[in-house]
Amino acid sequence: MKKEELQAIASQLKNPTGEKGIEMANMMHETNINMTRHSIQNLHIESGNTILELGHGNSGHVEFIFEQAENIKYYGLEMSELMFQEARRINRNFVSQKQAFFTLYDGNKIPFQDNFFDKIFTVNTIYFWLEPEKLLSEIDRVLKQKGIFCLTFAEESFMKQLPFTQYEFELYSTEKAENLVQKTTFKIIKKETLTEKVKTRTGELVDRDFTTLVLKRD
Ligand SMILES: C[S@@+](CC[C@H](N)C(=O)[O-])C[C@H]1O[C@@H](n2cnc3c(N)ncnc32)[C@H](O)[C@@H]1O
C-alpha cells in the first residue's frame, strides 16, 4: 500500500470524517467491541452511576452500558464532529430520554465540573493523546474520589505490525502505560491483558493482545 493510503487510514482512525469516516467507524465498532465490553465490565457499573467515555466513535455500544444497571447517565466526549453526529443519531432514543449526552471537545480540557463522574473509560484513544499527563490530570479532576477509570488499548507488540500505525499513532506497551500512570495521582488496581482473534483488512484472522488498566482515584 502507498504511503498516502496508509496516512489516510491513520488519519481516519484518529479523526473520522466524511463518507469513509462512517464506514471506518462501523468497522471499528465491530472490530473493537470486545475491547469496549472489557473496559465497561471492569468499571463495575452500579445503579445511579454517571459515566464518561472519551473517544466513543459511533457509540454503537451504549445500549450495552445501559444493560449494566438501572438509572445510569452516560456522557460521551469526542473530537470528531462526524462521530459526535453519528453517536447522537444511533442513540437518539437515549438522547431524547436524557440518559445519554454527547459533547465535542478539544482533546485536552474536559468540559465538566470537578468530581462529576463515578466511572470513566476510554478505548483505543491513548495513541492520539497529545499531552497524556495533562489529559490524565483532567480525568482525575472530573472523577469523584474513589472513582474508577478504565484505560483500554491494543499492545504495541500487535499495533506495530500494522503499517499505518507509523503515522499519527503513539504506541503503548503495558509497561509504558504503567510508567505514564505512575507520574499521576492514579493508582493501578488491576491490569489485564487478553488475546483475541481479529480479522485483518485482507480477511485473515490474527491474534491481538489488548490491555485494560483499572485506575482508582485516591
Ligand atoms: C481508533 S478510534 C476508536 C473508537 C472506539 N473507542 C473504538 O475502540 O472502536 C479513536 C476515536 O477517538 C477519538 N479521539 C482521538 N483523540 C481523542 C482524544 N484526545 N479524546 C477523545 N477522543 C479522541 C477519534 O475521533 C476517534 O473517534
| Distance in angstroms between the alpha carbons of the first and the last residue of the chain | 47
Query: What does the DSSP 8-state code read for residue 108?
Result: S
Domain boundaries, the chain: 3-217
Tens digit of each residue's pLDDT (9 = 90 or more) over 130-151 = 999 999 999 999 999 999 999 9
pLDDT tens digit sequence for 155-165:
999 999 999 99
CB 122, CB 54: distance < 8 Å: yes
Q: In whole angstroms, what is the distance from residue 21 CA to residue 18 CA?
A: 5
DSSP annotation string for 54-74: ES-TT-TTHHHHHTSSSS-EE
Q: Does domain 3-217 have CATH number 3.40.30.10?
A: no
> Residue whose CA is closest, atom 11 of ligand 1?
55
Residue 74 Cα to ligand 1 midpoint, Å, equals: 16
Calculate the average pLDDT of the chain.
96
**Ligand 1, residues 56, 79, 84, 133: which to mutate, most atoms within 8 A of Cβ?**
79
Decide if pLDDT at 199 tops 90: no
Q: Report which residue type is found at 193.
A: T
Each residue's pLDDT tens digit, 56-100: 999 999 999 999 999 999 999 999 999 999 999 999 999 999 999
What pLDDT score was predicted for residue 7?
95
Strand order in the sheet with 50-54: 100-104, 73-78, 50-54, 117-123, 143-154, 205-217, 186-199
Helix or strand or coil: residue 191? Answer: strand
User: Ligand 1: does its nearest atom lie under 6 Å from the Cβ of 139?
Assistant: no
Helix (DSSP H) and strand (DSSP E) numbers for the chain: 8, 7
- Determine the residue of 125, 164, 198 to mutate for testing ligand 1's pocket, defined as the one with the most ligand atoms within 8 A of the Cβ atom: 125
| Bridging pattern class, strands 100-104 and 73-78 | parallel
User: What pLDDT was estimated at residue 23?
Assistant: 95
* Residue 30 neighbours by CB distance under 10 Å: 12
